[in-house]
Structure 1
Amino acid sequence: MLQLNYIRENRDKVIERLGVKNFKEIGLVDEIITLDEQRRKIQSESDALSAEANSSAKKIGELMRQGKKEEAEAVKSQSSGYKEQIKSLTDHLDRVEQDLNAKIVQLPNLPHTTVPVGVSADDNEVVLENGTIPTLADDAVSHWDLLTKYGIVDLELGVKVTGAGFPVYKGKGARLQRALINFFLDEAAKVGYEEVQVPIMVNEASAFATGQLPDKEGQMYHVTHDDLYLIPTAEVPVTNIYRDVIVKEEQFPIRHCAYTPCFRREAGSYGAHVRGLNRLHQFDKVETVQIVHPDRSYDALEEMNTYVQGLLQKLELPYRVLRLCGGDMSFTAALTYDLEVYSAAQKRWLEVSSVSNFETYQSNRLKVRFKNQDGKMQLAHTLNGSALALPRIVASLLENNQTDKGIKIPKVLVPYTGFEYID
């Protein structure tokens, strides 16, 4: 969440940047500032009253030691109302702070100054395109037909076992999944990401700390009996490793990668854009997370962006990089790059990665801090990126590499799959 002192000291800038995200409840900013003024006033009154009560208590003790019982009783009588007054102020302060906290978490992160103005995905800025879009044979088909043709993913069996959006991978399809996961993890290790294996369910505190709650509550699967949430991405448990942790500045950059299945309720149900593997309720992904010094977070973002591009280049997939406009960004991000691959049979771009800098938005909730060179506590910056999400990668690999001999596997994956073709 945004830092309260920043909102108080930069009201006009906050309102201007929220406008770039098309945030409609701008009045919340002034409500938060007003509540903060009330909070500070009540706190000041409570502190002053507590100081008076302490002073009176000392005075009473001193008078009693001097044998001046009547004077002590007089002071005691005068100060008898302090306790109730302090309790009343404390109760009032609690109510104001609860209201303040409830409102401040409704504000999204402020977009970076380079974020384009826009309202939808149509307004995203294409930063670059790379690779050659393949020309397919006239009889080429979309990946959902290839899944059935080669018997590698059974969507209907997934419906039987669980429901729509929960595919069953079979034979070479399952081996391709495993090959991609291992390839992504091995590549991450080469550039210094420490692999961690994390739970795929988190508690409410963890979901709140990374910004999934309260913003994305309807998109997460909730295990109500235990009050746990199935993760939408490994970003949530990995980043929460550092919740309430004071790290040392020399630890930066902290870099982790993790493979997990991911779960999202918001998958669509109609149209070609959600057919096959295009949008699922359960999917596999390798995630990269960094916790860094604030001065170096945008360098880290560019590095993560370049790293994901390298994976796509090794997979020989044509791709493009988008800088998301304010209206298409997530609630928590300050700047996001989306990476999309071209799916030749569908003749459309498919998002396969988002790489984002959250600045202090997550770390303020997480309370992940470090002591800077001046000896003062400071919030770290957090970043994450998909490296990579598998379903649309698989869809594009199948469609773009279909040949008379079968589906050709990119050279970099053959040592992992043990086969050159799906046939």
Structure 2
Amino acid sequence: MHDIRIIRDNPAAFDAALSRRGMSPVSSKILAIDEARRAKILAAETAQAEANKAAKEVGAAKARGDEEEFQRLRTLMADKKAEIAALNEEAKAEDAKLNDLLMGIPNLPDESIPDGEDEDDNVEIHRWGEPRTFDFQPVEHYEVPAIRPGMDFETAAKLSGSRFVLLSGAVARLHRALAQFMLDVHVEEHGLTETITPVLVREDMMYGTGQLPKFGEDSYQTTNGWWLIPTAEVTLTNIVNGMTIEENYLPRRYVAHTQCFRSEAGSAGRDTSGMLRQHQFEKVEMVSITRPEDSAAEHDRMTQQAQTILEKLGLPYRTVVLCTGDLGAGMRKTHDIEVWLPGQNAYREISSVSIAGDYQARRMNARYKPAEGGKPQFVHTLNGSGLAVGRTLIAVIENGQQADGSVDLPEVLHPYLRGGTRITAEGQLV
């Protein structure tokens, strides 16, 4: 959500920033509603002042026996009361209209990010590791013989429909080991606070982080009004919803491993094979709450934390900064980390690490009190995958596949697998 004062002060700059996202100017519409709202408020205040004046004079009129003036003032007071009520309702309606409009406008892109139309215009800023050279033709994860016994799409489709998977045996254990490994690194090495959160949230929590009102079709809602979280960004960020916290409480750095749910609206025909794009999946999510002046450094820190997971797993990756045309609506700046998948012969996204600035904080009314005193300020919020567990599973399988159909597993995972080092072509962990 945007600060109306900034739009009033420099509407041209606001429109120019949104034009980088390909949006038409909206400041004139915003300011027209704002002006109407303020006019109603001023009129109500003027009417209230007149009513207050009449209230003071009515007693004097009665005391001096001026019945005509007494009745006139009583009528005036009644009329003003009705006028004030009507004006307040009109101002409330204009305020709701303004709030709805501001809620639907995306965040302003950071000045440092590149202009562009789509993912082809993203800019690579870092690369790690060399893709492995195979002496055979690598295949996608679901085609690796070692994995077939433990990755069942047919039964999942019977149970739930398309874009679900049933994992079992060695594959299920590897998936669990990856999540535990990620949590341990983030907690023990990166100093994040492990958190277990609900996966069902109230509607206002989805508004707080920007999934609503515009992107409701991307998520699932229950019949009693709860929403299934698309990621733990929703729950972790909303921890500070409605709060004014002390500055020394910042930064807050959370990590959570949760089930996540997405309808994948608009992705028909994309990644329909395998488990790259699912309705239900697991992620280890990182969220930071910071002071505004610390958020840029925190963004770099979180990016490095996600990259560290891939480096420990020995998975080649590259990091790109998203251009304006590929930037998420609620974010100011995003680093996408893309892991190498030899089965696809391509880098694919495995983590997005983003700065929302004060965009979410304004929606949540989340502030902090400066230590030196003064007016409370809005916090900055950041979020990032650390990592998407299913996609990391895919990367481990594809990069570790062997000519005989087995899969060699990263050394850092061996302790989490009771010493297991590979999955045989028959699907056994040994």
TM range (shorter): over 0.9
- Is 1:319 matched up with 2:317? yes
Residue aligned with 2:343, SS: coil
Residues 339 and 42 (structure 1 numbering): CA distance in 2 closer, same or farther, change over 3 Å? same
Please give the root-mean-square deviation of Cα atoms over the aligned residues, in Å. Answer: 1.7
Structure 2 stretches lacking a partner, 5+ long: 425-430
Give the one of 183, 186, 193 matched to 1:185: 183
Q: Deviations over 1:210-269 (max 9, x none)?
A: 00011211111121x211211110101111121111111110001111111111111645
Structure 1 stretches lacking a partner, 5+ long: none
Amino acid at match of 1:366: M
Give the one of 277, 280, 294 matched to 2:278: 280
Number of equivalent positions: 418
Note the 1:392-403 alignment, pairs <5 A.
Answer: 392-403=391-402
Match for residue 3 of structure 1?
3
Residue 149 of structure 1: how far off its partner (Å): 4.8
Match for residue 345 of structure 1?
343
Residue 95 of structure 1: how far off its partner (Å): 2.0
**Cα separation, 2, equivalents of 1:299 and 1:326:** 21
Q: Deviations over 1:112-150 (max 9, x none)?
A: 001110010000011111101001231432211126754
- Structure 1 residue runs of 4 or more that deviate by more than 6 Å after TM superposition: none
Match for residue 58 of structure 1?
56
- Is 1:129 matched up with 2:127? yes
Q: Deviations over 1:258-305 (max 9, x none)?
A: 11111111164536x442122111111000001110111111001101
Amino acid at match of 1:14: F
Residue aligned with 2:142, SS: helix
8 A Cα contact 1:339 1:352, kept in partner:
yes
Note the 1:376-387 alignment, pairs <5 A.
Answer: 376-387=375-386
Residue 345 of structure 1: how far off its partner (Å): 2.0
Q: Deviations over 1:73-114 (max 9, x none)?
A: 443234331012112211221221122122112210000001
8 A Cα contact 1:50 1:86, kept in partner:
yes
Match for residue 172 of structure 2?
174
Q: Deviations over 1:6-51 (max 9, x none)?
A: 111121111111111122x42x321011111111111111112112
8 A Cα contact 1:147 1:154, kept in partner:
no
Residue aligned with 2:144, SS: helix
Note the 1:289-300 alignment, pairs <5 A.
Answer: 289-300=287-298
**Cα separation, 2, equivalents of 1:363 and 1:68:** 59
Residue 320 of structure 1: how far off its partner (Å): 0.4
Match for residue 422 of structure 1?
423
Residue 404 of structure 1: how far off its partner (Å): 4.6
8 A Cα contact 2:139 2:342, kept in partner:
no
Amino acid at match of 1:399: E
Give the stretch that moved more between structures: 402-411 or 244-253: 402-411
Match for residue 158 of structure 2?
160
- Is 1:270 matched up with 2:233? no
Residues 78 and 392 (structure 1 numbering): CA distance in 2 closer, same or farther, change over 3 Å? closer
Match for residue 199 of structure 1?
198
**Cα separation, 1, equivalents of 2:59 and 2:287:** 58
8 A Cα contact 2:138 2:343, kept in partner:
yes
Residues 82 and 269 (structure 1 numbering): CA distance in 2 closer, same or farther, change over 3 Å? closer
**Cα separation, 1, equivalents of 2:231 and 2:184:** 19
**Cα separation, 2, equivalents of 1:292 and 1:62:** 59
Residue 308 of structure 1: how far off its partner (Å): 0.8
Residues 67 and 4 (structure 1 numbering): CA distance in 2 closer, same or farther, change over 3 Å? same
Note the 1:44-123 alignment, pairs <5 A.
Answer: 44-61=42-59, 66=63, 68=65, 70=67, 71-123=69-121
**Cα separation, 2, equivalents of 1:328 and 1:90:** 41
Residue 175 of structure 1: how far off its partner (Å): 0.7
Amino acid at match of 2:415: P
8 A Cα contact 2:142 2:148, kept in partner:
no
Match for residue 236 of structure 2?
238
Amino acid at match of 2:308: G
Residue 416 of structure 1: how far off its partner (Å): 0.9
